[in-house]
Chain A
Amino acid sequence: MGVATIGRVSRDNTSTDPKVRAPLVLPGNDYASITDKVCSIVETPRPPKAWYVAFCIAASLTGVLGAVVVYLITTGVGVWGLNKPISWGFDITNFVFWVGIGHAGTLISAILYLFRQKWRTGINRFAEAMTIFAVICALLFPGIHVGRIWLEYWIAPLPNQMSMWPNFRSPLLWDFFAVGTYFTVSLCFWYMGLIPDLATVRDRAQGKVRQIAYGILALGWTGSNRHWHRYERAYLLLAALATPLVLSVHSIVSFDFATSMLPGWHATIFPPYFVAGAIFGGFAMVLLLAVPCRQWFGLKDVITPRHLENMCKIVLATGMMVGYAYAIEFFIAWYSGNPTEGFVFINRAFGPYAWAYWTMVFCNVATPQVFWSRRARSNPWIIFGVALCVNVGMWFERFVIIVTTLSRDFLPSSWNSYTPTWVEIATLAGSFGLFFTLFLLFLRFLPMVAMAEVKAIMPAPHDPVRR
């Protein structure tokens, strides 16, 4: 691409003309400029002011999280507003919410890889980082909600003082294996993708400390083609393994509910419904992070309007699947002829938690509909707004499922209502603090775009004139 043509090429690569292959990296870039753009973010002595402001807020919230978790552990789970019959509230809502967020990262890194969706390369790195940090936040909640956390190792199949083994017929134990495996595999996948890019940062490092730190992290990568050969094969295998894994994780999370006998939970639609919701909420979170990041760190050439548009389309599609699941739940509640089931759903929509239900429906079903319009899909403000709405909506979805069912049991004498205490609200806010603290540190110290993968999908430089 000659310099003269660059000025005439549109910066908008969202064209749907099937005759033209839209560029995945905007024109005017070569291998070196990609490295410069991505590496300068981690090399600059001073990140943008917005980074400092965001980091201060996030780190303070993480401090709050630490304090309330210590308070919870030293005092007991009574500091939460949970009691019979509502023994799950904010804790499990937050757990399911955060695990769900992670799913988009794995979908982008593994499923889109298997389907040869080359546009994934611009966004997969930070989406995978988002997965890791979201799963850390998710693991926190089951970790602290058990009360006596020092006996947590009883979950693992380890010999213990009671000479007992875990009950492998419990979905809660399946959950431990599913989320634990998910975290480990996501971490391997993410780190493996990082190795070549860490080597790039190592090779450009100026100071001794940076050279040694990135040198150790890059594991001595030399870009050897014999290494690339095994690396690519291992990456493909990990993608092939992560694909069924990610579908299994939220399915197993949904078994926590679906295998119980409670009305509103005991439904066969739960696994696909939960997986669609997880991808929906996760993509919204990727958009929520991508829109400001590409602005602040000058990555608009790599995370292009087309990337955002594609993600908006996925949000629209998965949002409609979620909407369909909401409708089918109601249909089955009526069609089953089970009066308790019917009552639970009428109560969800028109009972004391109707405000939460309609917030969920508005955020998850109504707002993504704006993405039918191409103008909305290419306006970062609208994308950010819808992504925010979807995240709120997906949190409320889990809240509605958990609380409406538990608060209206089979026996009216045991009905109750649930109000979170300040400790629960602070823990939720703190989990966002932890997530954003980790994410901001990632942006500061690790390459946020998979440079090697982006270069592999760029057109090769022209051959020099043959002699």
Chain B
Amino acid sequence: MEKAKHAHPNYIGIFFFLAALTAVELGVAFLPWPKMVLILLLIFLAIWKAALVALYYMHLRYEPNRLRLLAIAPLPLAVILVVAVTREFRW
């Protein structure tokens, strides 16, 4: 598959979105809400930012499906490790 001659994604637009999300994170972190809610929100925001970088700056959006699958393949392992071992401390 040749490199698609698509127009460049709007890199600057993505940048402003990333900056905005970072600002939201900063705001959220110091809100007087229950800790668990804050954690979930912040993780969600971080994942959103990471996805933007991966999809647009790393061009995963435009790569073959197989490559996208390869890129996310290690993630389930990370989840298994952390979920299983935290069970060790939360019987």
- Asked if chains A and B come from one complex, the reply is no
Chain A residues within 8 Å of B, Cβ to Cβ? none
Chain B residues within 8 Å of A, Cβ to Cβ? none
